[in-house]
Structure 1
């Protein structure tokens, strides 16, 4: 990629968003061109496998990937950018002399593929002199030739760009007409066409789709400015998510918010502008202890940071210490079988099988069929997230199926699965949860946050805040952030809404590793109550 291409691809004006630039600029039409047929991909895979084993690899896996991206941004009444990228190549991972090796190439000739495989073996053998214990792989079933596709109803790449641009501009106009002074709306589309094969006899062909349509609105007043982000979720769905079906909307008394299986971007932008006008005049929260009722649009981020990351086994073992920290949830706590991660109402589970979630696939990136498993059961820490070469450390007989790489050129490693909070046994609504609160705050949407290097002490903000008095939402307030530590916070959980309120949010660009990679992961939860949490005011002091 030359400098001109890089500037073109990165000129999207998204501020702090983590936007991975992978691939070369192509036309929108090129995104719809068919991939190589399965027979061709299997033949290329076998070229790599045979080359690797002939050089001494005792195990090898191959990933052929075609990664397609489309990013559209609109600011106020104009389109900022339309970016289409395609990346295509092959990655080969091997074990030789008990040690991992990896190499990749975009040269898809037989010679190019074989050379990459041979390089991976050479890397493994060179690293073997530093390996103290040989790699131990948990056994995995051989699935033969299988395929999987995200169950989409409308392929977002097939929707004309004009229709997508019109939607973003309609949302922007709705916000500007109802009180916002500035707004940027964005549409991210991702299609991963991934083929996997290994020396253990599994060949998977997967077609993965993801979508996210956030916006960032600002209103200016005499007191300064206020901002509100969109409340749409990133999803493993097609363009049907943006249909905004009325039956999918979840309303909470006193707060016109909430979306379930689909999203109305224009309505959310309209409501955001109106809420911004209230935010400009709203009083600041009085610091103190409050019972918090957290909407799924907000709680998903708290789950991500205080549960998803600290229960990644590589982080527990210290592999992330230099980049993103370790974990307080050390192996001794798991081994005790009594560590109270939360109250007995807290049941947290991991999976990559929830329909519509960002992490939903049939097989992970080392050929393991995905599944669901418990992390915290009735408040007790019972497991972590582990892949094939980690499973033996926690006495697991098989991988959890949560290995992932952001592209063919990057080695796969342990990534967070969808980590979610089970709804309550009684099918309560959000209003039912709020009704039990005498003095509290209802928080919607993800805001700024801070958490320490062990994923323990933290502070979280949000997008919208409402006072709760005697079981009812009253005034919209501002400048709310709550502080706690992971164990104290989850042990303060006293009530949960039921399965009809359960919603899935997520992170579209979750960073990890060195060199860094991003992955997409969802978190499901219902509206949930936490008692006696410390709340501070973030109001700027003049």
Structure 2
């Protein structure tokens, strides 16, 4: 094996250790192979029709077909060295059917007529076996066919077309900026995703989609040579549903604040400079005194609290108990929704689900059931009004259509209910971060996400962060450390006291939202403006109990 080949093959494992959940992403390819065109739309339609016809001939009453080409690129550096450059491709077809009232699924990476027909027959056979255990047949919400349509992430610059050298130079520049600012260690990475997906169904849809995502990130450590103690500071970037233009920061694209470095684009170099210095400041920071504080939560932090305390408990499959074996169920049971007045939060709290939000990770034109994507309310004026629903769940809520929440992370995975973008709406009144801070006597301003825990019903929780600033009498009084806050979902969202306006609205999010058995990974964004919460319990994470 040539040295270059060895680096490619060994690099995938190392990249996976930095990005848990992404270790089996397909075959190793060269960077230039990612730019080669796949099979054309006419050929995909022909292959999809082979599957649709074969399934029908074996007794399927409904069939959908997904042909997917999934491209990934990892570029990883550590200090002044390139650690890994890895490119992967996965390509194949998944076939889902209903036969005898039950679901069946099979997949193949051999896209010749015979292999496709055999996979379709296998899916039907599985459905018929599953039907023996059914208590009631699958009820699909009606869905019109769209004919031949397409959707593409509106990117300006395909990140896969950018030369590897340019990406490496960026990451090494990030490392250099952080080290000069005081960091001892830094790992930097770029993770690129391109999903080329084709969907066809017996409803009459033939849908071509080209979806792009990008995640720039770094992880810094600063050590106190005298004491051996250390502090960390991770990047404040949000992974984004954009092209390489996300890393082409321009002054007019950035919010004018030292701690908010992204909106339409992300200034990775400036974030690294700040991070190197702030990791040093954290070593000298005062340890927090436990007690009740008002919290001012930056969108770079609040996205994760939204994800765990709002996104997951409004997934209908969790509400129904289908996810009880993995990461819990939900306290938002159907009886609470049926009252139409369950107090989730106060009247300031309006949370929407959205599959179309520009720049978001969850943006797509159609979900993996061929449902056209849109936006809807989950929490309206503090009241629970809806959930996240797919076609075979809609009848449970009396809905006549799916909300477009079905997704699979691969052609070889069966699609199921996954979280769309879930976001707190900005305040209606003109209000800045400074305005929120001015109204706080005793508080903490939290920036960036950190460790967290939440119970099986997504109710009681604890969240940390990256940066913590003490607020005294309406002013920032210095940095704190060892901060985490505790609350329960209903109490927390009822303590909301103010939300900055739309000019401060930003997206956070995650590439790796894990769910299901076998586990699948979903990319999802959560937006908010900076938000004020009153009288929240804060603990010191460095102090021992008892």
Q: TM-score range by the shorter chain?
A: over 0.9
Which residue does 1:234 correspond to in 2? 239
Which residue does 1:85 correspond to in 2? 88
Q: Mapping of 1:110-129 within 5 angstroms?
A: 110-129=113-132
Distance 2:124 2:471 in 1: 62
Structure 1 position 382 matched with structure 2 position 393: no
Distance 1:74 1:181 in 2: 14
Distance 1:311 1:388 in 2: 16
Q: Mapping of 1:145-160 within 5 angstroms?
A: 145-160=148-163
Distance 1:522 1:15 in 2: 21
Distance 1:196 1:91 in 2: 10
> What does the per-residue CA deviation read over 1:71-124, in whole Å, with 9 as the maximum and x for residues that have no partner?
111001101000100000000000000000000000000111111111000000
Which residue does 2:3 correspond to in 1? none
Shift of 1:14: 3.9
Distance 2:7 2:301 in 1: 39
Q: Is the 8 A contact 1:5 1:24 kept in 2?
A: no
Q: Is the 8 A contact 1:193 1:208 kept in 2?
A: yes
Distance 2:284 2:169 in 1: 32
Distance 1:281 1:169 in 2: 28
SS in 1 for 2:132: helix
Q: Is the 8 A contact 2:75 2:191 kept in 1?
A: yes
Which segments of 5 or more consecutive residues in structure 2 lack a partner in the other structure? 1-5
Shift of 1:20: 4.1
Distance 1:499 1:241 in 2: 20
SS in 2 for 1:204: strand
- Match among 460, 463, 466 for residue 460 of structure 1: 463
State which drifts further: 484-493 or 427-436: 427-436
Q: Mapping of 1:49-128 within 5 angstroms?
A: 49-128=52-131
Shift of 1:250: 2.2
* Number of equivalent positions: 538
State which drifts further: 465-474 or 298-307: 465-474
Q: Mapping of 1:209-224 within 5 angstroms?
A: 209-221=212-224, 222-223=226-227, 224=229
Q: TM-score, normalised by structure 2?
A: 0.97
Distance 2:20 2:51 in 1: 36
Distance 2:428 2:467 in 1: 28
Distance 2:343 2:252 in 1: 38
SS in 1 for 2:182: coil
Root-mean-square deviation (CA, aligned residues, Å) is 1.5
Shift of 1:450: 0.3
Structure 1 position 192 matched with structure 2 position 192: no
Which residue does 1:352 correspond to in 2? 355
Q: TM-score, normalised by structure 1?
A: 0.97
Shift of 1:13: 6.7
- Match among 360, 365, 372 for residue 362 of structure 1: 365
Structure 1 position 392 matched with structure 2 position 390: no
Query: Alpha carbons of 1:451 and 1:6: their partners in 2 closer, same or farther (altered >3 Å)?
Result: farther
Distance 1:55 1:111 in 2: 14
Q: Mapping of 1:302-381 within 5 angstroms?
A: 302-381=305-384
Query: Alpha carbons of 1:20 and 1:354: their partners in 2 closer, same or farther (altered >3 Å)?
Result: farther
Structure 1 position 494 matched with structure 2 position 477: no
